Amino acid sequence: MTSKNPWKYLLSHHLPKDYDRCLQINVNDRKVRICSRCLGWYISFFLFWVLLFLDLNFLLNYKMIILYFFPAPAMIDWSLHRFGFYSGNNLSRVSTGFLLGLTFAMMTYLFIKNPLRVHFWIVSVLYISIGVVIFKVTS
């Protein structure tokens, strides 16, 4: 995938054939595409840190649920699409991306606090392994 302008992939890593997975906004008469799942991710990732900065750290009480279960809907949605069962929609992508963003923010926070925390590594290995297997099987 070569492009004369790699900056256009900053907000959307999709090729033109997959632009249906993006939300489009017009900025100064230019079309800007944002990956739907990544948009949900960006919003919740930064929301987590704003809440933490404001000392509204109630999400930390649910860290085990967030770590182990919040990535599952995105993996299921992505898997169903990869296996060709359905093409999904942007609402499901934004929603599952939001859950992923919370998970990544929580994982980043836990890693910063203690890089040897076992739950960080279990979740990382678990979901990366599942993703690699699905990707290999569907490629």
Quick: pLDDT tens for 5-61: 666 666 778 777 888 888 888 888 888 888 899 999 999 999 999 999 999 989 999
The count of structural domains within the chain is 1
Residue 29 lies in a domain: no
DSSP letters along 12-59, please? ----GGGGGGEEEEEETTEEEEEEHHHHHHHHHHHHHHHHHHTT--GG
Domain assignment present for 22:
no
For residue 5, is it within any domain? no
What pLDDT does 10 receive? 66
Residue in 62, 97, 101 with CA at minimum distance from that of residue 77: 97
Tokens 């926070």 appear where?
109
User: Which range of residues forms the domain containing residue 70?
Assistant: 37-138
What's the pTM value of the predicted model, to 2 decimals? 0.85
pLDDT digits (tens, 9 = 90+) for 62-95: 999 999 999 999 999 989 988 889 888 999 999 9
Query: DSSP state, 11?
Result: T
